[in-house]
Structure 1
Amino acid sequence: MSVIEAADCLIPDWPAPARVRALQTTRSGGVSAAPYTSLNLGDHVGDDPLAVAANRNALAALLPAGPLWLTQVHGTTVLDAGLPQPDPTADASIARDTRGVCAIMTADCLPVLLCNDAGSVVGAAHAGWRGLAGGVLEATVVAMAVPGDTLMAWLGPTIGRDAFEVGDDVRDAFIAHDSAAASAFRPGRAPGKHWADIELLAKQRLAALGITRVYGGGLCTVSDAERWFSYRRDHRTGRMASLIWLQD
Structure 2
Amino acid sequence: MKIESDLLKLDGIRHGYFTREGGVSNGIYGSLNIGLGSSDERGHVLENRNRVASALGVDAANLVSPYQIHSPDVIVVTGPFEDGADRKADALVTKTQGLAIGVATADCGPVLFADPQARVIGAAHSGWKGAFGGVLQNTVAAMESLGAAKSGIRAVLGPTISQDAYEVGPEFHDRFVADNPENTRYFEPSGQPGHFMFDLPAFITDRLRDLGLRHVGGTGHCTYKDEDRFFSYRRTTHRKEPDYGRQISAIALL
* TM-score normalised over the length of structure 1: 0.90
Is residue 229–residue 238 contact of structure 1 (8 Å, CA) maintained in 2?
A: yes
Please identify runs of 4+ aligned residues in structure 1 that moved more than 4 A. Answer: none
Q: Is 1:107 aligned to residue 106 of structure 2? A: yes
**Deviation string for 1:52-104 (max 9, x for gaps)?**
11211222222324211211010011112324531111100011121431100
| Structure 2 partner of 1:131 | 130
1:31 offset after TM fit, Å?
1.0
| Structure 2 partner of 1:171 | 173
| Structure 2 partner of 1:9 | 2
Q: Is 1:244 aligned to residue 244 of structure 2? A: no
| Structure 2 partner of 1:150 | 152
| Structure 1 partner of 2:201 | 199
| Structure 2 partner of 1:70 | 66
Instruction: State how far apart, in whole Å, the 2-side matches of 1:68 and 1:15 are.
Output: 19
Distance verdict in 2 for CA 1:187–1:174, change over 3 Å: same
1:117 offset after TM fit, Å?
4.5
**Deviation string for 1:28-69 (max 9, x for gaps)?**
111111010111000112111111112112222223242112
* TM-score normalised over the length of structure 2: 0.88
SS of 2:89 mapped into structure 1: coil
The structure that is helix-richer by fraction is: 2
Is residue 121–residue 144 contact of structure 1 (8 Å, CA) maintained in 2?
A: yes
| Structure 1 partner of 2:187 | 185
1:194 offset after TM fit, Å?
0.9
Q: Is 1:88 aligned to residue 87 of structure 2? A: yes
Residue-pair matches, total = 240
- What are the residue-to-residue correspondences of 1:51-70 with 2, within 5 Å? 51-62=44-55, 63-65=57-59, 66-70=62-66
Is residue 73–residue 90 contact of structure 2 (8 Å, CA) maintained in 1?
A: yes
| Structure 2 partner of 1:214 | 216
Instruction: State how far apart, in whole Å, the 2-side matches of 1:178 and 1:216 are.
Output: 24
| Structure 1 partner of 2:161 | 159
Instruction: State how far apart, in whole Å, the 2-side matches of 1:64 and 1:119 are.
Output: 20
Q: Gapped runs of 5+ residues in structure 2?
A: 238-242
Instruction: State how far apart, in whole Å, the 2-side matches of 1:45 and 1:97 are.
Output: 29
The percent of aligned pairs where both chains have the same amino acid is 38
Q: Gapped runs of 5+ residues in structure 1?
A: 1-7
1:120 offset after TM fit, Å?
1.6
